[in-house]
Structure formats: C-alpha cells, structure tokens
Amino acid sequence: MEHFGICAACGQGAKRLRACASERHFLILCDECDAAWFTLEDEAPTYLKQPDLPCPACGASLVQPPSRWATLDEIRQLGWGDDLVSKSE
C-alpha cells in the first residue's frame, strides 16, 4: 500500500493519493476518515461534503467509480514518489 504517513486527524488512516472520478485531478485522502489535503505541506485537513466527496477542482466524486487510488507510477510522475512512507513495488 502506497501512503504518505498516518492521518493526524484520526490517527489511524493512511494518507493516500486519490484520483477523482474525472481522473484528471489528484488529492491526498485519508482512507479512514476522509480528511483531505491539497499538498503534503498542508497541515490542516479539508473535509469534503459527504457522502460523495466532490473533487474541489471539478466536482467529480472521490468515492464513486472510476475514482481510485493512484498507482505508484502516477505518484512518481507527479513528483511525490520520494515522499512516500511506504510503497509496494
């Protein structure tokens, strides 16, 4: 599982990169409590509207298909590969 560390908001979930249903935007999302961050530098999370978690950029859902967790290749292409705490090759 690729992630950037433990969510500080809930202390349990992993901070992972999520592609919205339009597959054009990526957001860091806690896989436990849905806290969201635009960048890894952001400390305070954003809480998107439940239950669909609309992408702040285009409104497409971060929950409904084809939204998905980003692949390791996508994370690397976005330049965040070195920030991963854990990755499965």
Partner 1 sequence: MGRMRQAGHRSGRARRPVWLTLAIIALAAGTLVYRSGFDGAIERADGERGPQARNSSTQEAEQELHGAESETNEGWGELTEIAPGVFESTAGLVYKPGSREGHRIDHVLRHAEDAPERPIHGVFDGGREEIFAVLDEAWSIARQRGPPVKIERNGQRTTYTIDMGRRVGYVGGGAGLRNGYPAASHIRLVLEDRDVITAFPLNP
Q: Nearer to partner 1 by C-beta: 1 or 82?
A: 1
Residue 16 CA to residue 4 CA, distance in Å, equals: 6
- Residue 50 as a binder of partner 1 (CB under 8 A): the answer is yes
Q: Where are the alpha helices (DSSP H) in 42-84?
A: 72-77
Q: Is residue 78 within 8 Å of residue 17, measured between CB atoms?
A: yes
Phi and psi (nearest 5°) for 81? -60, -40
Given 9, 20, 21, 55, the residue binding partner 1 (CB under 8 A): 9
Radius of gyration in angstroms for the set of CA atoms belonging to the chain, rounded to a whole number? 12
Stretch binding partner 1 (CB under 8 A), from 19-27, 30-38, 76-84: 30-38
- Residue 10 as a binder of partner 1 (CB under 8 A): the answer is yes
Residues that bind partner 1 (CB under 8 A): 1, 3, 6, 9-14, 31-34, 45, 47, 50-51, 63, 85-86
